[in-house]
Amino acid sequence: MPLTPHPRASDADLPRTAGGFELRRELGRGGMGVVYEARETASGRTVALKVLAAELRVSDEAFERFRREARLAASISDHHCVFVYGAHEVEGSPAIAMELCPGETLDQKLASKQTIPVQTAVRWTLEILTGLEAAHERGIVHRDVKPSNCFTTADGHAKIGDFGLSRTLESDIQLTQSGAFLGSPLYASPEQIRGREVDLRSDMYSCGATLYALLTGRAPHSGSNIGEVLARILSETPPAPRAIRADIPRELERVVMRSMDRDPKRRFQDYSSFREALQPFAAADVAPAGPIRRFVGYAIDFLAWKFATTFFALGAAWAGFNVFEADPERPWMLRSVTSAAALASVPWILSMLFEGWFGAGPGKWLMGQRVVAVDSLHPSFARAALRATVFYAPGVVIQCIAMLLELGQTTFSLLTDLGEIGIVLGLIVTMRRSNGYRAVHDFASGTRVIQKRSPFGASRQASPPPSAALEPAVGVPSTVGAYEIHGMVGSSRDGVVLAARDAHLDRSVWIHARRTTIGASDEARRALSRGGRLRWLDSLNSEGVHYEVFESPGGISLVHSKVSETRIHWPTAQRFLAALADELAATSNRGNVPVRFDVAQIWIDRMWNPRLLDFPIGAREASSANGVELLTEAARRMLLEDDDSTVKLPRDLPAHAEPVVARLLGHANPFVDLDDARRELATLGERPSVVTRAARAAQMTVGGGLPVLLAVLSVVAAFWILPLGGELIRVGAYVEELDAQSRVGDESPSPEAKLAPDQIKARQILISHMASNPFGQAALRRDLSEPHREIVRDAVARYPEPTGSDVAWAQGVSDRTQSGDDSRASNEVPRIARSLLTFMPLTVVLLWGFCGTVSAFLFDGGMTLMLCGIRVRSRRGMLASRWRCAWRCLISWVPFAIAYGVGAYFTNEGNPVTGWTVTGFTALVHAIAIAFSLWRPTAGLQDRIAGTTLIVR
C-alpha cells in the first residue's frame, strides 16, 4: 500500500536534510518524481535520489510502478546500467538511492546543438546495448529507452537508467488499462504504440532511434502534436540519416534503418547481431588494407571480371550477335578494334559500378575491404568511376594499339600481357605504409582502400560460469534487518560471507558478518563504484556482530571453480585478465604502502567479469602476492588445464597474443609492473581474437573455391561446346565429301559415293551455318587446308545466311545419309561428356591437394591461411610444425581423391550407374565436410583428426 502522505518541505528549500539524506540540488523532474543530488549521511557517499512525486503518493498504480522500478533496476548489476543502492522513505514518499552519473544525459547533449562525432555516437549506443542485454539476461524489457534516460559518466561512457516502465518478460501484471500506451512517443516502437506485447526488439528499435538522434541531432519522427507523431511512427519510414548529415557512412545508415524497421521480424533479432553490425563504426580511426590482403582482393576481382567478360562474349555469340567475331587473317584477335575496346571495358565498367555502389568488388568484399573517399570515408560513385578509369584505361589503349599493328600471335600476347603487368606495377609504386598504401589511382581519385570490417571478431557472450554452492549458515540468524539469510558463501579470515535476499528490493546480496569493526569499510570504500569491486550497500550491528552488505556478484571463486572443466575461450579470458589488471592497478596505486593480495580474493561474476573482493573467501592458508604475481596466477588458472602439464598455451590463443601470454605464464621474461601488463592486455583486446565463419569462408573461397569454380566452368563450357565439337566433326566430313566430289580420274568417288544435288546443297548449307558461328569459323580456319577453306568460302557464297528452316531441312537430308565420321561424332560426344563428369572432380582434388600440401609445408599451414591471417596450433598449445600442417592438409583431400578415383574407374569400365553413384555420394560427403568447417571454423573434420586448431595469425 502507499505510504501515508504528510507535509514536506518545499523543493526550493535546498539544501535540506530528510530521511537520512542531505538533499543538495535538484537534478531533474519526470512523470514519476523528482531526482536530487543527495549525500547519504550514514555512509557519506553521494547518490542520485529519486523521490516519488507528492501528487502520486496516493495512487496505488503509481506506487506499485515506482516500487517495481526499484526492484527491477536493483536486480541488474552491470557497469553500463545505473546501479541502485537501496530503497528508502523521504518525507513520506518512497525513494530510490541510485548511482550518481556526474555527466549529462544524452538528451542534454542533443539540446546543446553540438555535432556528436559518429564514432562517439556509436560507442555510446554499444554501451547502452550492453546494459540492455544485461537487463534482458534478468528477463527485463526496458520499454522506455530514450536520450533522457541515458547518462554519461565522467570518463565519457554511457549508462542506461530509469527502469520505471520496465516489465519482466514473464510478468502478467497489468499496471495500466488494456491497450494504453506507456513510453516516450518520439522513440517508441510501433508495436509498443499499438499496445501489443513487446520484447527486446522493441528496446532495440528505441536504441536505434536514439542513435538516429545522436547522429542527426533530431528524433526520427516529428509533428505538431502527439497524434501526428504516433501516426508517422506507425506508417512512415524516417528520413535517411545521410540526407540530414552527409558524413554518416552509408553502411551505418543501413544498420540504423534496419534497427528501426516497422516490422520486428526484419530488425536485428538479438543484441549480439546488432552490436556486431555497429562495432566497425566505433573505431576512432580506420585501418588501411595491407598490401598482401589487397593483392588477394585484387586477384579475386581480376578473375571475377575475366569470367564476366568471357560469359559476356559467349552470351553475345549465343544470341547471334557477331560483334565479337574473330579476324579471318589473325584469329587470335577480334576483327573490330571497337569490339575489342568494348570487351576490354567490361572490367572497367563492373569495377566502377561495384566500387561506386557497394564500395567493393567480390574480392575486396570477401577480404573485408572497402574503397572510400578520403574526406568522407564512404563510397563515392564519381570517385570510383575516376579510379576505375585511371586503372583500366591504359590497358584498353594498349590493346587497341596492338590490334592496329601488324603483329604475330606471340608478339601480340606479349605486348598486351606485359603491358597489363607494367601498368599495375607503375600504379603501385607509390604504396607506402606512411600513406596508407595508396596507389596512383587512389591518389588520382581521392580514394583509399580500408579494412572496413575484419573477417575476424570476438566470440559471442560466453555461457555464465557455474554458481558457487552455498553451505548451511550454522549459528547465524535467519534474518538480519531486512535481509533474509539463505546460506553461507564461505568463510573469511575474520568472519563469514552470507548469501541473503533484500526483502525491500527483492535482490540477492552478500553480507560479511564479523565480531569486530576493525577493517570495516571506510567512507572512500563505501563510495567506491568501480566495476571491478563489489558495491557497498549497507551496514548494521546486531547482537555484537557487525554486518556489511554488498551486492551479490553471482558466479564463483577463481580458486574453487575448477575453471578447466568449463571451456574458457580466449576472448573471455582476455577481457577478464585485462579488467583484472585495471582493477589491480587502481587498487595498488591508492597509497605509498605496497598492496598485497590473495588469490582467493579473485571472484568471477555471472558475466565473466573479475571482482576483487575486500576479503579472501575460503583461503586455507594465508598467501601474499603483489599485483603482477596475482595477475600471473589468475592467468595460469584461467588459461591452462591443470590436469595436463603438456599443454603450454591455450589452443585458441591467437599467434599475436602468444608473446604477452608467454610473459604472463612465465615462459618468457615476466612483466615488471602492472602498467606494462595493462597496456599489453588492452592492446590485445583491440585486435581480432577468433577465426569466424566469415574468415573461414574467405580462406576456403580463396584456397578451394577457385579450383572448384574452374572445374564447374570447364564442365559447363564443355557441355556448351561439345555439341559444337560434334558439329565441327560432321562439317569436316562434309568438306571432305565435297572435295571428293570435285575430283576426276582415279581419285573420283565410286558411283555409290556420288552425292545427289540435294545432298550437296544440304552439306553446303550446314557448312555455311557453321561458318556463321565465330567459334566454328575460327576452328574451320585453323584446322582446314587451303583447298578445303575454298570449299567453305564457296558454300558461304552460295548460301550466305541460311534460315532455320533451311538448316533443319539440311540436317534431315544429311541424317539419312550419315557417314562414318557422323557416326563417330555421335558416339564421341557422350563419351567425352562421361569422362568430364567423372575425371574433372578427381583432377581438381588431386591438383588442389598436391599444391595445398606443398603450400601447407612451406607456409606453416598454407598460403591461403597465411593470406587470410590464420595459423594452425596443435592440441598441446604450440604452433603446429610444418609436418603436422602438411598432414592436416593430406587428411582433407586424400580420402576424397581415392573416392573420386573409384567412381571414375567404374564409369570408364562400363558401369556408369555405380560410378556416378560413388561420385555423387563422395561429392555429398565433400559438401558436408565443407559445411562442417564453416559451422565450426576453428576445428573442421581434418582438424579433429590431426589434433589442430585454427587461430588468428
Dist CA 898 CA 744 (whole Å): 58
Task: Say which of 11, 78, 144, 285 is annotated catalytic.
Answer: 144
Dist CA 194 CA 180 (whole Å): 8
3-state helix, strand, coil in the chain (%, to 5): 50, 15, 35
Dist CA 632 CA 662 (whole Å): 10
CA dihedral 514, 518, 519, 520 (to 10 degrees): 70
Q: Which of 875, 876, 951, 872 is nearest to 647 (CA)?
A: 876
CA dihedral 542, 548, 550, 556 (to 10 degrees): -90
Q: Count of alpha carbons within 13 Å of 914, Cβ hemisphere only?
A: 9
CA 539 to chain centre: 47
CB 496 within 8 A of CB 490: yes
Dist CA 321 CA 218 (whole Å): 55
DSSP code per residue over 75-135: T---TTBPPEEEEEEETTEEEEEE----S-BHHHHHHTTPPPPHHHHHHHHHHHHHHHHHH
Dist CA 718 CA 722 (whole Å): 5
Dist CA 432 CA 438 (whole Å): 7
Backbone angles phi, psi at 82, to 5 degrees: -65, 125
CA distances (Å), origin 625, targets 167, 622, 678, 818: 45, 10, 17, 97
764: which 3 cell numbers? Answer: 553446303
Dist CA 514 CA 498 (whole Å): 11
> Euclidean distance between the first and final Cα of the chain, in Å?
62
CA distances (Å), origin 641, targets 648, 650, 952: 9, 9, 21
* Sheet (strand 84-90) strand order: 16-18, 21-29, 33-40, 46-52, 93-98, 84-90
Helix and strand numbers (H, E) in the chain are 31, 23
Q: Which residues of 681-719 are buried (b: 16+ CB within 10 A; e: fewer)?
A: beebeeebbbbbebbbbbbbbbbbbebbebbeeeeeebe
DSSP state of 686: T
Backbone angles phi, psi at 22, to 5 degrees: -100, 105
Dist CA 95 CA 50 (whole Å): 5
Is 144 a known active-site residue? yes
Catalytic annotation, residues: 144
